[in-house]
Chain A
Amino acid sequence: MGYDLIYSQVTGHVPYLLGGALLTLQLATISFLVGWAIGLFNASILHFGPHPARLAVQGYVTFFINTPLLVQIFFIFFVLPDAGILLSPYTAVAIGMSLNAGAYLTEIQRAGFQSLRREEMDAATAMGFSVPQMVWYVVMPHIAKTLYPPLSNQFIIQVMTTSIAAIFAVEELTGRAYNVNSLTFRSMEVFSIVAVIYVVLTLACSLALAVLGRWLFRVKARIV
């Protein structure tokens, strides 16, 4: 029982797949940026906020880290319509991934607050900075610099995680691969090509992030 690789039946679909890769990148970027903002806000509350607000943030983080992302998106996509909130698959996945990333990015950035030199905060306080000013101008640049590698990793994780959107018929890379597969039944060819696209995509992202990091912060991030 042999299997003959016939890539010629699939190569015509490569531009279509690459189009999906763009959507993959878009979904990863949006969910990372929203998650990063959520994480920064939450970490500020954990550091500066009153006790009830800290509890709320801890509840959010515990919930989203200890339930599967897929279940979270199912909830957003299938349960919220009962409450009159109808979302497109793309929006539901984007929201789910953002909230999920927000929990992980809270944990990552909390470490940044803890590692901040107390002296810089004293100086900012003594000069009359408000808490949001201190977070934006003093804490955030420190986090971006010292936590650049784990933040970059989280972005790469977001790229991989977008494949979950295929389940909701979002036509990102995996979704489109699924479509091409049902059209051609050349599974080996389709998914080997898709695997290569993912590898190239994430390597390109890692490289771009490393170059950006060096340029921004003189950080020696490991490439790949």
Chain B
Amino acid sequence: MGLTFLSIQGLSVSYGGKADVLRDVSLDVQRGEVIGLIGPSGSGKSTILRTLVGLLKPRSGTVTLDGQVVDYTSRASLRGARDRFAIVFQQYNLFQNMTALRNVAIAPTLVKKRAKADVEAEARALLARVGLAEKVNAYPDELSGGQQQRVAIARALALKPDILLLDEVTAALDPELVGEVLDTIRALQRDGMTMLIVSHEMAFIREVASRVAFLDQGLIVETGPPAEVFDQPRSPRLKEFTSRILRH
């Protein structure tokens, strides 16, 4: 057992006048692990991901990645965090004025100052990997939701993140398009990508996650292997949550 890859210690976040959207959250993640974050709406699942990638400022707590503390205090130091985490959003958040290829290639060229030719070759390979080799020159409004989300995944991978953060990436999709995106994520899991996945697709979480964390009202209430969390919930809140989702 190696060192803990990602360690979140005592993370608290508040914003928009709401006190403590996250309260003293701690989580350890090993390299190659897939963590499923589940819980009711507003429980703080997405907040964890948005904080890790630097979109929200933590009020207190530390994040350590690969032995190095990630500094969220200043704008300049945020670069470090954004180098190592990449996020995929529920609404894809693609740049509407750019083709699929440019969406994937822009950050490495612009932010990491890498050579355009190299980056574009990689971007083509990434788009092929998510099954969109034919769509490199398509604009987002010419793609289906599932295709857009796969472009967004390719765009996040182009940053070569240590950890991929997936924020309800199938929640905005038509049911028949969910499968193609989940297949893409399964492939990433097989390749050993470390991921934190926020999702309401419980069957999928059970399948790909090595561990599951249940959040409620900004607290991690329970963590464990999927079988344990889903089948033998200990806390009353989780029991209530799983009984409700299993009825669906």
Contacts and interface: CB of A to CB of B under 8 A. Distances in A.
Interface of A: 117, 119-120, 122-129, 133, 137-138, 141-142, 145
Given A133-B110, A137-B106, A137-B110, A126 B96 contact: no
Interface of B: 53-55, 78-79, 82-83, 86-87, 89, 91-97, 106-107, 110-111, 155, 159
B-side interface mostly: loop
B159 to A, nearest CB: 6
A138 B111 CA distance: 14
Given A119-B92, A137-B106, 12 more contacts: A120-B93, A120-B95, A122-B89, A122-B93, A123-B89, A123-B94, A123-B95, A127-B111, A127-B159, A128-B107, A129-B111, A142-B96
B240 to A, nearest CB: 32
B54 A125 contact: yes
A175 to B, nearest CB: 41
Given A119-B91, A133-B110, A137-B110, A127 B86 contact: yes
Grouping DSSP codes into helix (H, G, I), strand (E, B) and loop, the A interface class, with mixed when no group exceeds half, is helix
Nearest to A123: B93
26 contacts: A117-B96, A119-B91, A120-B94, A120-B96, A122-B55, A122-B93, A123-B89, A123-B93, A123-B95, A126-B53, A126-B54, A126-B55, A126-B82, A126-B87, A127-B82, A127-B86, A127-B107, A127-B159, A128-B78, A128-B79, A128-B107, A128-B111, A129-B111, A133-B110, A137-B95, A142-B96
